[in-house]
Amino acid sequence: MSLEKHKKSWEELANMDPYWAIVTEKNRQYGKWKVEEFFQTGEYQIQTVMKSLSDLGYPKKRQLMLDFGCGVGRHTRIFCRYFSQAIGIDISERMIDQALKLNQSVSNCKFLVNSEPHLKILPDNHFDLVYSDFVLQHISNKKTIRSYISEFIRIIKPNGLAIFQLPHHISFRNRLQPRRKIYNLLRSLGVNEQFLYGKLGLHPICSNFIPQPQIEELLEIEEARVLKLLAGPDCGPSVDSRIYFVTK
Ligand SMILES: C[S@@+](CC[C@H](N)C(=O)[O-])C[C@H]1O[C@@H](n2cnc3c(N)ncnc32)[C@H](O)[C@@H]1O
């Protein structure tokens, strides 16, 4: 799938059911997330991340952080407490519109749209922390996933930290993703997305993976160092995920 079509899918999800598209709990589908509970999930997660940062002693400073694939800013808003400034970046204009509205009261965060398969709008050696959770796994093109990982390394400062989550393996059965394929096929034939999602229970969310050894090889090429590697989080049945903590 082209990045343009991928963006279109996320615009549709941001319009139809943004919170569920971000935290896909079954009983919260079709608008059943309460905004406070949804944001609470980010709170728990970032507290755990901050504990890891303290244990690792990285990044060395806490000035500027980037939340790649920020959605409505569920994590970005929490990082603002720990960093002088947090920037959320996302491919979807509608997600960013909602992030701006929902986080008006947080003064030290900023939100940007980037629809490119790279992060050339961001300078080299710029961020103390780059964080990305539940984003790379949804990109269908593995070359684009690799490109973003290389970009994470380029834009972190020396002694900065990139934390990114990506599945290492998905079982063959779960790679089939018939709901997504039928959704995309019917969308290409012009069938209305609200009908496909609301009435037929189809959606365009893709799940992808890259085996850990291939990510380690890429990081070696980029002269990056893995400080910590975690198994998890739970990304559904038969998905074996990893969280990489990387410096340069
Ligand atoms: C499952 S949501 C996760 C949002 C956020 N990381 C969180 O956990 O709250 C995935 C987000 O990644 C964004 N996204 C998908 N592909 C992207 C890309 N190529 N560049 C930037 N953002 C992307 C989507 O628009 C969506 O907001």
Nearest CA to ligand 1 atom 12: 69
- Specify whether domain 3-171+207-247 bears CATH 3.40.50.150: yes
Tell me how crowded residue 176 is: count the other CB atoms within 10 A of its CB.
Answer: 11
Which pLDDT belongs to residue 171?
84
Which pLDDT belongs to residue 237?
65
CA distance 98 to 73: 8
Block residue for tokens 């079982």: 171
**Domain regions of the chain by residue span:** 3-171+207-247
pTM: 0.97
Which pLDDT belongs to residue 226?
98
Mutational pocket test of ligand 1: of 13, 91, 120, the residue with most ligand atoms within 8 Å of the beta carbon:
91
**Residue among 229, 244, 242 at smallest CA distance from 153:** 244
**Residue among 62, 68, 106 at smallest CA distance from 84:** 62
User: How confident is residue 33, by pLDDT bands cut at 50, 70 and 90?
Assistant: very high
Strands lying side by side in the sheet with 64-68: 109-113, 85-90, 64-68, 127-132, 156-170, 239-247, 225-231
pLDDT in tens, 4-18: 999 999 999 999 999
Mutational pocket test of ligand 1: of 11, 135, 164, the residue with most ligand atoms within 8 Å of the beta carbon:
135
Tell me how crowded residue 7 is: count the other CB atoms within 10 A of its CB.
Answer: 16
Ligand 1 lining (C-beta closer than 6 Å): 10, 22, 69-71, 74-75, 90-92, 95, 133-135, 138-139
Name the token pair of 135: 């984003």
User: How confident is residue 233, by pLDDT bands cut at 50, 70 and 90?
Assistant: confident
